[in-house]
Chain A
Amino acid sequence: MCLKSKNIQTPDELLSLLKKMLRIRYFESAAKDSVLNGKIPGACHVYIGEEAVAVGVCNLLNKDDYVISTHRGHGHCLAKGADPKLLMAELFGRSDGYCQGRGGSMHIFIKELGVLGTNGIVGGGLPLALGAGMHAKLNKTGQVAVCFFGDGAANQGTFHESINLAAIQRLPVIFVCENNLYATATKMTEVTLTKQFADRAQAYGIPGKTLDGNNVISIGKEANEAVCRAREGKGPSFLECLTYRHLGHYVGENTDYRPKEEVEMWLQKDPIVMLKKYLVDNGLIKNEVISQLECEMKNQIDAAVVFASESPYPEISDVNRHVFVNEVI
């Protein structure tokens, strides 16, 4: 059922959005610490500062809707409903992880939540999202697919191919560009003359908008229209969400390539700070409730780290399973 004007203004719903954003913030903070103390063995790209996008969009999805994610994908998984324990265990390379330690940060798949992978290839997920949309359309399931990607992917060929193909096939796909202004270490203005990526949507004949990617409420409102459009069989939409990662491209990166003033300016627009301020200023939620929530989420993530640390490594004897379905090589 698609609600044209889904109301996310009630205090309970707003609190739920804050809770999800806090969960991601603490999770990513713990992931960062776990990289630095050596508990996470591989590369890790954290989502701190961009939480409003994943939460604003995924809040509108059903459990069986699809999400196609990126190398910076923990937030998308959590926003779609992932259990922080199983997610953290995957980052730790443990047997209780969602992929039993075979995937890691950039290859997280959660079938029961429709998560078709975080992805190590920038732009690699866009064609896969068409497939999720194609499956829904062909089998008339009513599902939609949300495809997250960044400004870097917007300059990959797959971006153009995929939006064009989704448009002509009227696939139920929502393309969500998380424009954090830097493709790894390269500023957007150095690699394209395009002012807004949403303009490119127009080129392929689909609706496209550029949004404040740090405002979870307005993201939800616009994304709701896009989700409705997709569910009603009217085809894909494009949302460009302007946001910023507070930390480096990967944990431990030197971020001198970004001017201090720019970082400061975006820290002022922290999506969680903004939402808290909105809630308190409008008398919707008291500070104590927020403090309790922060405490609850922090404890949940602490427990996830303990869980992941205690989870055993996968059995080495199992390493040759699943190259092909139901076969041992």
Chain B
Amino acid sequence: MRIMKYQQVIREGYASAMRADASTFIVGEGIGRRGGCFIETLGLYNEFGPERVLDMPISESAFVGMCAGAAACGSRAIANLMFLDFATVAMDQIVNQAAKFTYISAGQFRMPFTITAMYGLSSSSGAHHTQPLYPWFMYVPGVKVVMPATPYDVKGLLASAIMDDSLVMVLHHRELINLKGPVPEDDYFLELGKAEVIKEGSDVTIVAPGIMRYIALEAANQLASHKISAEVIDPRTLIPLDEQTILASVKKTGKLVVVDEGYSTCGFGAEIIAMVNDRMPVRTKIAMRRLHTLSVPTPYSPPLEKAIIPDSKKIINTVMEIM
């Protein structure tokens, strides 16, 4: 199988979707001749032209809303937001407009609109280019939240997201974009709402989305030397969430640690732990912990930035607490 870089797969995914449907277009800042901030749109401009690969003024509200309007009318729209932090200046269009169109029109309108953006604490990118804001969007009815973490997954999940008739946010961790992995040449779709058990185990379940799957896997391998068998699950999509895979694992292990790069308050860990609590029989005893990035604005200085993110040592310590 071909070995490809994550960023090349994004590019291939866009191109494939645009070839399949002439009403599909992509907008963003510097995505045309430049080919995107992470060269993830390189070549699209030459293939599809300025009518379908549109460089935007720095007006996120206007271009996100433009995509929503076009999607409602029947085009298939992709907005490349560059960094997820920039969604904050387009929140009305995402939350009040695009997310609600289908419901409040009683299904008259579809919303085939995909927003893609980078997130992730890395490279001293500071407080405005790193924020793990994805739990905000989990909260809003009408938004699907997809977080691929491998080149294989990004191809199948991005294809499904673009073909979905609802608003989908596909969020890439910027530390993963140079990651290489096997990717089939043929098009394929990965169903939204299917988690992947990336390591089977019997003593503790670790749920770790996005880049955290790699940190969790590293921790799980080290735990093995302590005779602790950890099962690691990458949910891959946060909305819809594959509750069954998580529940089946927790039933087996009786212990759960959620590891997430987002903040803890009202965050992904809180949601997963509450979901497990709600779904399990009343008297079931399950030890549960969550491990998150410290709730501070992302500091610039490398040692500070590194200190606030979950790492394998923190994961091991957290697992040990509940063993």
Contact = CB atoms under 8 A, between A and B. Distances in A.
A99 B108 CA distance: 8
B154 interface: no
B64 interface: yes
> B52, B66, B77 — which one has the most chain A CB atoms within 10 A of its CB?
B66
A131 B66 contact: yes
Contacts of A136: 73
B311 to A, nearest CB: 36
B242 to A, nearest CB: 15
Interface string B61-93: 111111111111111010000000000000011
Given A102-B105, A116-B72, 17 more contacts: A99-B106, A109-B108, A111-B109, A116-B69, A130-B63, A130-B66, A131-B65, A131-B66, A135-B69, A135-B70, A135-B75, A138-B75, A158-B61, A162-B65, A165-B62, A323-B102, A324-B144
B56 interface: yes
A149 to B, nearest CB: 13
A107 interface: yes
B182 interface: no
A107 B62 contact: no
Chain A interface mostly: mixed
Interface string A135-161: 111110000010000000000011001
B65 to A, nearest CB: 2
A172 B64 CA distance: 18
B141 to A, nearest CB: 5
Interface residues of B, number: 46
A102 B69 contact: no
B106 A130 contact: no
A132 B75 CA distance: 9
A207 interface: no
Interface string B101-133: 111111111110000000000000000000000
Contacts of A119: 97
A131 B69 contact: yes
A102 B104 contact: yes
30 contacts: A66-B73, A98-B106, A103-B104, A103-B106, A107-B100, A107-B104, A107-B105, A109-B105, A111-B108, A124-B93, A124-B97, A127-B61, A127-B63, A128-B69, A129-B69, A130-B69, A131-B67, A131-B75, A132-B73, A134-B70, A135-B69, A135-B75, A137-B51, A138-B25, A165-B56, A165-B57, A165-B62, A322-B107, A324-B102, A325-B107
A158 B69 CA distance: 14
B23 interface: yes
A165 B108 CA distance: 27
Contact of A111 (B23, B63, B105, B166): B105
B59 interface: yes
A109 B144 contact: no
A185 interface: no
Nearest to B54: A169
Contacts, number: 157
Nearest to B239: A324
A158 B63 CA distance: 10
B96 interface: yes
A218 interface: no
Contact of B106 (A102, A131, A134, A162): A102
Contacts of A145: 69
Given A124-B92, A324-B142, A325-B107, A138 B70 contact: yes
Nearest to B90: A127
B271 interface: no
Nearest to A119: B97
Given A131-B69, A135-B69, A109 B57 contact: no
A77 B102 CA distance: 18
> B25, B57, B61, B65 — which one has the most chain A CB atoms within 10 A of its CB?
B65
A318 to B, nearest CB: 9
Nearest to B52: A138
Contacts of B93: 124, 127-128
B174 to A, nearest CB: 26
A138 B57 contact: no
A117 B61 contact: no
A75 B93 CA distance: 24
A323 B142 contact: yes
Interface in A97-126: 98-100, 102-103, 107, 109-111, 116-117, 119-121, 124, 126
